[in-house]
Every structure is written in C-alpha cells, then in structure tokens.
C-alpha cells in the first residue's frame, strides 16, 4: 500500500514554493508527485526523462506527473506504469489547487475499487500564509476547510510576520484544528511529509487535557455544560460557525455501538463535520485504538502499541460547522449509554 500525502492550502499560501523545496530533497527520490502543470513548479531544468505525455523522471529520482483529468486517472496511470516495471515509487504527494476542498481526493482513495487496494491515506498537509491567513479564515470557507482537514499545518512567509502576529495565528489555527501539528517550512522534509501518527496525537491529547483541566479538575462537575457557553469547554469561530471541541469519556466503549453511532452521525451531518480524531478505550482491549476521519470518510482504525502517559480514557476531537457540540455530546451519551461524558477544549 503506497501512502498518498495531500498537499493543500489557500491561493498564494506557498504550496508551490514548498513543493519545489520538497522535490530537491534526497528523501523524495522514491516519491511520485502529482501537480497541475509542470511549468507551474519550474521543473524544466530538472527533467531527466519523459516517460509519457504526463510523466517525467527528475534528476533527483522523483517521478512527476501532471493531473490533466481526474486524480483517479493520474493515480491509475502511475500504478499501471509501476506494475509494468517502468517506474518505481514508495509514496505519492498530490498538490491540489488553491480553492480545492481536500475531501473529494481523500474519498477517491477509499471509494475507487482499484486505487483502494494499492494506495492509502498518508495525511493532509496544509500550507498557511502567516501574513494573510487571519483575513482568509474570516472570509473564505475554503481556507477553513483546508485547515480543518490538516494533519499537519505548515506556516509559510513567517519571516514577514512579527512575533505577535505569529502567536495570534497559531492560537487561531489551534482553535480551528486542535488536532493538527503546526510546523514551519524550515522543518526537515521527512517531518513535513509525515502523515497521521496515532502515538503523537494521543500524547498531544493527554497534554492538552492536562493543560485545560489540571490534576485537581472536577470532571463530573463539567460534563453537562454547553461548549459555547464556557470558554474552557470548546472553541468557536463566530464568523463561520466553526467549532472545535472534545469529548472525554471515562467509561470503556463498546466498539460496535460506537461504530454504529459514528456511522449514523457522519451519514447525517458529514458535510458539516470537517474532522474527527481520537483515541478510544474499548471494552476487552488493553491498548488504545486511534480513529480519524474527514467529513463522511473514516479511515481504518489503528491499533496502538501502548497508552500515552496520563489517564486511560477515550478522547475524541471534533471540528464542526453549524452544529452544537452539546448536540454531539447528548447524542453520544444517549446512543452508547456511557454516563461519564464531558466536553473539553
């Protein structure tokens, strides 16, 4: 299974500049990159061999492919070339257009009958312009969706933003997507291209929980409060109705009941649930299960090797638009029968 990393970001956020840097790195020698046009990323001087009309081999060893139709067609073409032994690659990076919603591409990987047996989701990488992002997230829903879908957020143009702007932007991004790792373009390429890492995510959840509640927090005293009316229980972007919040569940969860509830929830509200990520303590399981999904799409659960430091309990992060966090909490409690549910930031 070849991991596919989705590189997205709003217009002018620096995707192409980042991609140029990625293509020059030795670690990309075993990668295939799907772009809109060769000319846009200035590859002419790097071309080594043209395999067909849409595919070239670069001096770095990386394969570059233009997407002239559907992403599924481009991936199918690459897979056919690989199966015939004409090219070899161990991962794929897809650069989307600046106005693209990442979800349809992710859905393609799961729904396509051929692709889903050869490719797997390697994570969503979103570039964010450190100078203009605050204005973009206030007025452009596409920018918010791209940030909400991210596993990793890469800040660009940080040299042009002052320290105060940078801090405010990081706080804003954390409110939109508390489950994403925020990086800069100066990070190593391997770090930037890493996908969803359940262990790191689980550790971040425990750290975040401790930060908001502290060791003496009265969990039971909080679990009925509405996420909007208490700042420590959720984050809300008033301009776009985008809310991020967590469910913390003390009881062990029945996997079948949870799966049915999540499936029904996403079937009804998937268009407005940008992201779901979590670690679960399941009945009959000693080790945690990591889950993550975008809109209607939920990826296969990951069995983790150990629990992070901190309490052994479930925590699920939601990023929503136009849905009350309290509605999600009450739905979960009613469907699963878990009594100790509280909302948290």
**Under 8 Å between Cβ of 198 and 279:** yes
Q: What confidence score (pLDDT) does residue 228 get?
A: 30
List pLDDT tens digits, range 208-252.
443 333 333 333 322 222 233 223 345 545 444 677 888 888 888
Determine if residue 64 is left, alpha or beta; phi over 0 gives left, psi from -120 to 50 gives alpha, anything else beta.
beta
The distance between the two most distant Cα atoms of the chain, rounded to a whole number of Å, is 65
Q: Which CATH homologous superfamily contains domain 2-193?
A: P-loop containing nucleotide triphosphate hydrolases (3.40.50.300)
Closest CA to 94 of 210, 229, 195: 195
List pLDDT tens digits, range 70-101.
888 999 999 999 999 999 999 999 988 766 77
Cβ atoms within 10 Å, residue 129: 23
Q: What confidence score (pLDDT) does residue 132 get?
A: 83
CA distance 82 to 291: 31
Exposure of 94 by Cβ count < 10 A (0-12 exposed, 13-18 middle, 19+ buried)? buried
Regions of the chain where pLDDT drops below 70: 44-45, 98-99, 195-241, 339-345
Q: What confidence score (pLDDT) does residue 225 get?
A: 27
Kindly state the DSSP code that residue 51 receives in the 8-state scheme: E
Q: What confidence score (pLDDT) does residue 341 get?
A: 56
- The DSSP annotation for 262-275 comes to HHHHHHHHGGGEEE
Strand, helix or coil for residue 142: helix
Q: What confidence score (pLDDT) does residue 220 get?
A: 31
Domain boundaries along the sequence of the chain: 2-193, 198-344
- Please state, in angstroms and as integers, the Cα–Cα distance from residue 340 to each residue in 32, 132, 204, 309, following that order: 47, 42, 22, 21
Q: What confidence score (pLDDT) does residue 221 get?
A: 29
CA distance 140 to 39: 27
Q: What are phi and psi of 185, to 5 degrees?
A: -70, -10
CATH code assigned to 198-344: 3.30.1220.10
**Tokens coding 50:** 């043209």
């Amino acid at each position: 299974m070849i991991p596919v990393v989705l590189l997205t970001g709003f217009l002018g956020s620096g995707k192409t500049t980042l991609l140029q840097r990625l293509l020059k790195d030795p670690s990309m020698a075993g990668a295939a990159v799907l772009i809109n046009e060769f000319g846009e990323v200035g590859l002419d001087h790097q071309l080594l061999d043209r395999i067909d009309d849409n595919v070239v081999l670069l001096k770095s060893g990386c394969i570059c492919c233009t997407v002239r139709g559907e992403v599924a067609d481009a991936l199918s073409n690459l897979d056919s070339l690989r199966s015939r032994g004409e090219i070899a690659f161990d991962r794929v990076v897809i650069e989307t257009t600046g106005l693209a919603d990442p979800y349809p591409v992710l859905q393609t990987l799961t729904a396509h009958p051929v692709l889903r047996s050869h490719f797997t989701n390697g994570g969503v990488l979103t570039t964010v312009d450190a100078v203009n992002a605050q204005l973009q997230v206030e007025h452009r829903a596409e920018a918010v969706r791209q940030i909400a879908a991210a596993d990793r957020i890469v800040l660009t143009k940080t040299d042009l933003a002052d320290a105060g702007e940078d801090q405010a932007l990081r706080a804003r991004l954390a409110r939109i997507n508390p489950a994403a790792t925020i990086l800069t373009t100066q990070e190593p390429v391997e770090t930037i291209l890493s996908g969803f890492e359940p262990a790191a995510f689980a550790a971040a959840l425990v750290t975040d929980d401790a930060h908001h509640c502290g060791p003496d927090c009265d969990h039971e005293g909080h679990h009925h409060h509405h996420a909007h009316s208490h700042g420590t229980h959720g984050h809300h972007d008033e301009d776009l109705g985008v809310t991020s919040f967590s469910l913390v569940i003390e009881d062990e969860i029945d996997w079948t009941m949870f799966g049915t509830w999540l499936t029904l929830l996403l079937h009804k509200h998937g268009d407005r649930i940008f992201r779901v990520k979590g670690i679960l303590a399941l009945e009959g399981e000693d080790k945690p299960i990591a889950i993550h999904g975008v809109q209607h799409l939920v990826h296969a659960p990951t069995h983790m090797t150990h629990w992070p430091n901190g309490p052994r309990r479930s925590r699920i992060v939601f990023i929503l638009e136009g849905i009350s966090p309290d509605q999600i909490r009450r739905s979960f409690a009613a469907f699963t029968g878990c009594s100790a549910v509280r909302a948290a930031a």
